[in-house]
Structure 1
């Protein structure tokens, strides 16, 4: 029987959500819950599990095929192999996560995770129904081709997902400085879920925040700028089908309306348009940075002369 860290941790997920709700009601923890939003997150999680059963076989078959043509034999019993898979899987997750924000096709599968305007432990369970169809599982195939057994890769992916559950909370502030320097934390991940222009498309880390620092996508959470959660244009309702498929539907409408620019509307940055009439995360950040520079350069207002 294959060890599945996510399945083993599911009872803990539910208990932790209940505990966070109780502590928030008692005024002992910072956590905002809205019943319809929480229900949407939980149902998205159930739907994601069901969708995974449908598409998981293809991903598993592809991993086994890659492993049959592996370059090396890497033993699951070696400590160094687990250290290596930890680092390589976490690096793979960083690039998967970054791709899922920077290209619309994969953003369409990932956006539902960001669609809640609340940030609590239930948000961690608001997962994709279409990730398997989008094929992002293919990014992990090189690990099997190198020689890591597919079961080993799956276990490490599960460990990463379990780790990422606890960082979806406002109840925990900043952790010790050494921990914040190396690991992904609630503070770092709050930035990732924020829609403030300063915070857009930052902190893609799974477990190690060092990847963001290495590749220039790190942004610390600032006390002077609280996080505002959700997506740039929030949905405004809790319809599950809209949560799961709204970006796919928008993409299809754009392609139908502008077939000559289909590739741009499918694989361009989210918000890309052929005439530049829409805003992307990059343009929103640039506008924010320009305003910040302008505000710094403008002299403070002078008091009116006394008469």
Structure 2
């Protein structure tokens, strides 16, 4: 391959989920519906928490941050896909692709770290209830969120700086509906050994360490619950973890499903369809999980709707 064909690349071609013309209208309507539902659902969670003084505590502070990140997460990928379907174009600029990779990694990583912080919050609340307000004070909660942003900001920036040294061929096709790091590395025309090693190491650190923290927190929670004599106390304590456990299972379950599908099948289209689960479906379901399984959130949403109705 000539050097000119590698260094003058200015755009990539996103192949999308399907090239069948008869499916494009269906895909556009489906993803537009899921995108609007995700944004609306998470905005309602944020508004309910910010407007209700009963929810001004660490658990719901972290939940409002998670909802904000979920809105940003799905906005990183779906709008560009909708534009490409509507205009019947597949191109995305080189800078646009790198930007999409960066913000996708940032918000996916923040989801991961915030779920870990929320697990730690439940651990302190159940295992150290008398010291909860002292440990989980507003300053410490803000510091935890800030640390999550700083860690993932620099980790994602490192990947982008390394990717900028890769060469890509003109008219490079990306078999996906958005620019994903692993797919970008696969289609590069230059040696990717170093960036692959760094990617695997960073993935191990940023996925396994938080997951280990979540598992440790819940092992301590279960241990504390086993020591409780009251069945009602056990249920009340663990019920506050139900929504978080559901979201954690959905997030890691869909992520693992995408990894296994890409490892087992060589079909790029199947891998792309599987990735819809954690890029679109997970952010869409999170607000429903928290609102349907949490009496406080349901109550806050009810009061929010009542205020809105009275203003009309």
Instruction: Report the TM-score range of the alignment, normalised by the length of the smaller protein.
Output: under 0.3
More helix by share: 2
TM-score after normalising by structure 2: 0.25
TM-score after normalising by structure 1: 0.26
